[in-house]
Amino acid sequence: MQECGKPQPHKADPSASHTLAFLSTLKLFTTMKIYSLLLFVMLNSCMTSRIAVKTGIEEISFGNGGGFSGEVKTYKLTADNKLFEKETELKKVESKKTLELFNQAKEIKDLSFNEPENMYSFIEIKTKEKTNRIVWAYGSTTVDKTVIELYNELLTTTK
């Protein structure tokens, strides 16, 4: 007999327990996917900034200009291995190659050389502290050889 005002015990519904187990598993799976995605993003961002941390270089811009038209062609290689022409991303450069180029740039980041003529080339090395622009005339024999070597290596990344 049922007493008035007292709740009656419920009988367990087996389908309800399966639904709860499924929902619990789904929630766990979704949480794991989110954590995996966050871990991937964090590791990826650490790896890309690792080049900047190792070398102190954030990006290298390079190119040439002058002549009759005065047009300037500019490329930029970033610490996250992206190569741009002006603002358009051209491609990703291998991390090993980027590190090699940034290490070369580290060696000349404080070099002072500004001797443009009608046609010139340049390398601009950006660190947290400053940006140094090295400019030389086409065919110059007075600019340091390491500048020319780095410039030529940088140009090969554009092909």
Residue 83's DSSP bridge partners are 77, 91
Q: Give the pLDDT band of residue 50 (cuts 50, 70, 90).
A: confident
Q: Is residue 40 part of a domain?
A: no
Q: Is residue 15 part of a domain?
A: no
Domain count within the chain: 1
Domain interval for residue 99: 49-156
pLDDT at 20 (0 to 100): 64
Q: Is residue 43 part of a domain?
A: no
The number of angstroms, rounded, from the C-alpha of 57 to the middle of its chain's C-alpha atoms is: 12
pLDDT per position as a tens digit, 120-145: 999 999 999 999 999 999 999 999 99
Q: Is residue 28 part of a domain?
A: no
Q: Is residue 98 part of a domain?
A: yes
Q: Give the pLDDT band of residue 26 (cuts 50, 70, 90).
A: low
CATH number, domain at 86? 3.30.1560.10
Q: Is residue 78 part of a domain?
A: yes
Give the Cα separation of 117 and 65 in Å (integer). 10
Q: Is residue 95 part of a domain?
A: yes
pLDDT per position as a tens digit, 64-84: 999 999 999 999 999 999 999
Q: Is residue 107 part of a domain?
A: yes
Q: Give the pLDDT band of residue 16 (cuts 50, 70, 90).
A: low
